[in-house]
Amino acid sequence: MVMSRLRDVEIKHLVALRAVAEEGTFGRAATRLGYTQSAVSQQIAGLERALGAPVFDRPGGPRPVELTPLGSLLLEHANDVLGRLDAAGAAVERFVRGETGPLVVGTFQSVTTSILPTIVGRLREESPDVDIRLRESNDKEAFPGALVRGELDLAFTLDDDWPGVETEVLFEDPFVVVTPRSDLRAGCFPVQDLVGRGLVGYQLTSCQREIEEGLRRVVDGDLDWVFRTDDNLAVVALVRSGLGAAVVPRLAVDVDDDSVAIHDPEPPIPPRRVGLSWKAGRTLSPVALRFAEIAREACRPLQLSGTRAGAAAAVTTA
């Protein structure tokens, strides 16, 4: 069988075959490859032993060697194999440099609008051929499972204790009270003042449940949710219209929006912990590692910004 003849043929044999065929002598082939002439002779001898037949006729003297019919046949296939290896090598080099490759990232709405454009923009500028895909969900329990199943390379997550997942906490995202501009006041907003006024909130996602549980711990009285939506912009727009107040993560609101008043709550509600997660034990691709590095840089200003002024500076910087 032909396969049995080729089983012992190695890439170095094919490289030597091509070099000798193109240069015409073992000496010039050795110079081209950076080998000694005896090393090239050994490679060709090993190839011929594996095939059981010669690949070159050696006329002797100054005349160049010539391919045998078998040598010509093998060289044709060797060129295909070596060409594919060269292409594979170039592709591997680009992948290792983080210039190519797929990247699927999970995100949620407030990260999508405030942080992700900076990260994606920088990655696109550095590596325009990377295939970036994004998946958004406002359910904080959706992404850990998707990471474990291999459906995502990375995901922005809330909380940092998910089975099978490693998480690097990027920053804490405090909750703020948003009211109409007419309610602008100095200092913090007493959350007890939310009792008796209409509240605009989210659908009963994990974020909204966290908000309501936090309020129940510090507010004496029932809260009146007059409208629920999954859209951060809709929440702020309806507060602006005077429908009610809202309690939202700081990341979900434009802190430079002067058409509404944004307050730190008193007492504060425990903040969200925003992290970047990946499957535990999984080797991340170079482009995923670069994404994570850019994410750290983009989120660094948010690590120290706990007030409205600090948040504004952080988002602007990021």
At 61 the pLDDT is 76
The pLDDT of residue 18: 97
Number of Cβ within a 10 Å radius of residue 248: 23
Return the closest-CA partner of residue 110 out of 317, 316, 315.
Answer: 315
| Cα distance from N-terminal residue to C-terminal residue, the chain | 64
22, with CB counted inside 10 A (0-12, 13-18, 19+), is exposed
Q: What is the pLDDT of residue 115?
A: 94
Its pTM surpasses 0.85: no
What confidence score (pLDDT) does residue 284 get?
97
Are 316 and 302 in contact by the 8 Å Cβ rule? The answer is: no
CA distance 311 to 102: 33
Q: Which domains does the chain have, with CATH numbers?
A: 2-96 (1.10.10.10), 102-172+272-317 (3.40.190.10), 175-266 (3.40.190.10)
CA distance 211 to 93: 48
For the chain, 318 residues long, give each residue's pLDDT as a single digit of tens: 455 678 889 999 999 999 999 999 999 999 999 999 999 999 999 999 999 999 999 987 778 999 999 999 999 999 999 999 999 999 999 999 999 999 999 999 999 999 999 999 999 999 999 999 999 998 888 999 999 999 999 999 997 788 999 999 999 999 999 999 988 878 899 999 999 999 999 998 888 999 999 999 999 999 999 999 989 999 999 999 999 999 999 999 988 888 999 999 999 999 999 999 999 999 999 999 999 999 999 999 887 554 333 333 333 333
pLDDT at 59: 87
Give the pair of three-digit tokens for residue 274: 């925003």
Q: How many helices (H) and strands (E) does the chain have?
A: 12, 14
Phi, psi of 30 (to 5 degrees): -65, -40
103 in Cβ contact with 133 (< 8 Å): yes
Asked if 178 and 262 touch (Cβ cutoff 8 Å), the reply is yes
Using CA atoms in the order 80, 83, 88, 91, what is the torsion angle rounded to 10 degrees? -140
pLDDT of residue 3: 58
The residue assigned the tokens 């060289």 is: 75
Contact 259, 232 (CB under 8 A): no
